[in-house]
Structure 1
Amino acid sequence: MSGQRYYARGVFALFALLFPVQHATAETVEAKLSTGIIATADFRAGQPSRPAILLLHGFLQTRYAPPMSSLANTLADRGYTVLTPTLTLDINRRAKSLACEAVHTHTMEGDVAEIGFWANWLANKGYSSIALIGHSVGSTQILRYAAKDPNQAVKKVVLTSLVPFHGKPQEVQNALALAKRPAGERNLGRFTLTYCNNNYVAPPAAYLSYVSNDTKQTLDLLGKTKVPAEVILGTADKTITTDWPQKIQSRGTPVTIIDKASHFFDGAQEFDLADKVEAILQNLPAGNQ
């Protein structure tokens, strides 16, 4: 059966090259946040019988970044209402990913507040069943939101490639010392954060807001989330340790493992991710009642 499945996928991929798929047209929406910054998102309305889906990109990326961008297209084509915001990171109408060397004034708290804003936006449009899906750091941010005070319409969170932040202990100490200096909020340091290796430029408080979300806190949040959560990981993901799935499961959170999937679920595993996500979504109530 597996051979037939991959043969079918190969035929589909060839067909897609010859006849490109026309995805549902997205409406770009803008909204002014309480900070005065303009946030943007793409919105595609789907069938009322299906839940509404909010998909969040990875660290410093935008809504156009894979794998969430391709998953958004797939879910919209299958009739789901899809909202894909770009976190502002304190930049008006941000449309490009940020380099590590940029000055990062944004914080984890601000990112989580924006997730809440867009979840409320969907709920205010009448969607009573919402699922939040994140990728990588986006999953960590959604987890923070789900463990705090999520909108009652949020029924599920799906955390793909969930990975905690890791800060170097000495850099954390340096940031704490830098914050205590005069004009601490305006001081800038160079730190290590996810793939930014000693070149993440930020005020110390902004940097510390992310590194506090380490492995222990991430696992603790899984035990505190106020809506059901599921995690999807890949066997070829080099950003996680081999015991990470077991640690997640020890907190009572279901984990799906996709064989040969990398951190970004590229290649044939893109289809596996879409299938696993939709299997989860099919258990949710209608989105617009």
Structure 2
Amino acid sequence: MQRIFVLLLALSLSAAAGEAAAKTVRLADGDRILLGRLLVPDGASLADGAVLMVHGSMAHLGQETVAGVQNALAEREIPSLAITLSLGESARTGMYPCEAVHRHKHSNAAREIGLWRDWLDRQGAGKVAVFGHSRGGNQIVHYALKAPPGALVAAVALAPATWSADRADSAYRTRHKRDRLADVKAATARGDALLRNHPFLSCPSATVAASSFVDYHRNDPGRDTPGLLGAYRGAPLLVLAGREDRVVPDLIAKMAGVKNPRVGFAVVEEADHMFLDFYAEDVADRMAEFLEDKFR
């Protein structure tokens, strides 16, 4: 019990130190402002390298998983920048609410990741690795696949999204009591018109641009992260899975079929999809080991 208390106290103090060193940064993108949380721990500098961190579905830079891993990286003297994808909004904070108008697309993320990667370069980041959780894990893999040569030294996908048509159909039917492909077909004919009181992602009744609905809900094998990795030729990639993950329950089995020397894979025992508390420490340990030779 005393050991646990001492460890919790140490984690609390290190997290507080990380918070003190963190600062909010703003990046202009046309008429929108993008927000990031830059954390450069004492004893480190951006010239040593930095991790660009991307959250999951409709989340933000302060979401527990991202914040936990970012603070744990700071304990290991690894600088990082956690970003909030705009989802079409300026200076967006917090979870994107169902009641907002949805005009964003899954496919928009790569562009904003690229803007922040270039920002880090302008700040003197010697080398950049990219990290993504859940949907963000799939989005960073897509970015890594198309990134210019030398843009990244590494990528880490934490519990990245998996996909199959059958599972997408079943999940949509269970959640919304409707047929996914019938709704996609109807929305495809509506262009950018707004669909009102319409199912969208986890929202039971949303106002969403028809083109956005199609982008998220159409058949798209590219959403299945393991399916992208057999021929992956991007920066060295580490995929991490939680043994008890029920959000992407097929990730471990699918990764067993990936045979690519550029792709590493590890399982965090007992972790679920969120990797909170001590599991964030496990993730940071594995990342630090993976990045050690990349940030030299």
Q: Is the 8 A contact 1:29 1:40 kept in 2?
A: yes
Residue 178 (structure 1) aligned with residue 176 (structure 2)? no
Distance 1:197 1:27, change over 3 A: closer
Distance 1:132 1:22, change over 3 A: same
Query: Secondary structure, in 3 states, of the residue corresponding to 1:85?
Result: strand
Of the candidates 38, 41, 59, which is equivalent to residue 61 of structure 1?
59
Q: Is the 8 A contact 2:15 2:72 kept in 1?
A: no
Q: Which amino acid aligns with 2:95?
A: S
The answer for the alignment partner of 1:228 in structure 2 is 236
Q: Is the 8 A contact 1:154 1:227 kept in 2?
A: yes
CA apart distance, 1:48: 5.5
Q: Pairwise mapping of residues 37-52 of structure 1 onto structure 2 (< 5 A)?
A: 37-45=32-40, 46-47=44-45, 50-52=48-50
CA apart distance, 1:258: 0.8
Distance 1:112 1:9, change over 3 A: farther
Residue 274 (structure 1) aligned with residue 284 (structure 2)? yes
**Deviation digits for residues 35-55 of structure 1 (CA, Å, limit 9, x no counterpart):** x21111122333357321111
The answer for the alignment partner of 1:256 in structure 2 is 266
Query: Secondary structure, in 3 states, of the residue corresponding to 2:101?
Result: coil
Tell me, in whole angstroms, the C-alpha distance in 1 between the residues paired with 2:99 and 2:189: 23
Q: Which amino acid aligns with 2:22?
A: A
TM-score relative to the length of structure 1: 0.84
- Structure 1 alignment gaps of length 5 or more: 1-5
The answer for the alignment partner of 1:208 in structure 2 is 214
Distance 1:197 1:19, change over 3 A: closer
The answer for the alignment partner of 2:110 in structure 1 is 112
Q: Which amino acid aligns with 1:80?
A: I
**Deviation digits for residues 160-193 of structure 1 (CA, Å, limit 9, x no counterpart):** 0112356438323322322314xx3123162352
Query: Secondary structure, in 3 states, of the residue corresponding to 1:157?
Result: strand
Residue 245 (structure 1) aligned with residue 245 (structure 2)? no
Q: Which amino acid aligns with 1:247?
A: K
Tell me, in whole angstroms, the C-alpha distance in 1 between the residues paired with 2:10 and 2:271: 23
Tell me, in whole angstroms, the C-alpha distance in 2 between the residues paired with 1:93 and 1:151: 30
Q: Is the 8 A contact 1:51 1:281 kept in 2?
A: no
Tell me, in whole angstroms, the C-alpha distance in 2 between the residues paired with 1:241 and 1:113: 29
CA apart distance, 1:217: 4.6
Query: Secondary structure, in 3 states, of the residue corresponding to 1:154?
Result: coil
Distance 1:48 1:92, change over 3 A: closer
CA apart distance, 1:94: 0.5
Distance 1:28 1:20, change over 3 A: closer
Tell me, in whole angstroms, the C-alpha distance in 1 between the residues paired with 2:245 and 2:2: 25
CA apart distance, 1:221: 2.3
Q: Which amino acid aligns with 2:16?
A: V
Distance 1:109 1:100, change over 3 A: same
**Deviation digits for residues 118-177 of structure 1 (CA, Å, limit 9, x no counterpart):** 111112223231111111111111111111234623111100011235643832332232
The answer for the alignment partner of 2:28 in structure 1 is 32
In the alignment of these two chains, the number of paired residues is 275
Q: In proportion to residue count, which structure has more helix?
A: 2
Q: Is the 8 A contact 1:135 1:160 kept in 2?
A: yes
CA apart distance, 1:200: 5.1
Q: Which amino acid aligns with 1:208?
A: V
Q: Is the 8 A contact 2:187 2:214 kept in 1?
A: no
The answer for the alignment partner of 2:176 in structure 1 is none
After the TM superposition, which of the residue ranges 53-62 and 220-229 deviates more from structure 2?
A: 220-229
Q: Which amino acid aligns with 1:177?
A: A
Distance 1:9 1:163, change over 3 A: farther
Query: Secondary structure, in 3 states, of the residue corresponding to 2:16?
Result: coil
Identity between Structure 1 and Structure 2 (%) = 25
Tell me, in whole angstroms, the C-alpha distance in 1 between the residues paired with 2:134 and 2:223: 16
Q: Is the 8 A contact 1:44 1:83 kept in 2?
A: yes
Of the candidates 12, 19, 22, which is equivalent to residue 7 of structure 2?
12
Distance 1:217 1:65, change over 3 A: closer
Tell me, in whole angstroms, the C-alpha distance in 2 between the residues paired with 1:101 and 1:8: 46
Distance 1:188 1:129, change over 3 A: same
Of the candidates 22, 33, 37, which is equivalent to residue 17 of structure 2?
22
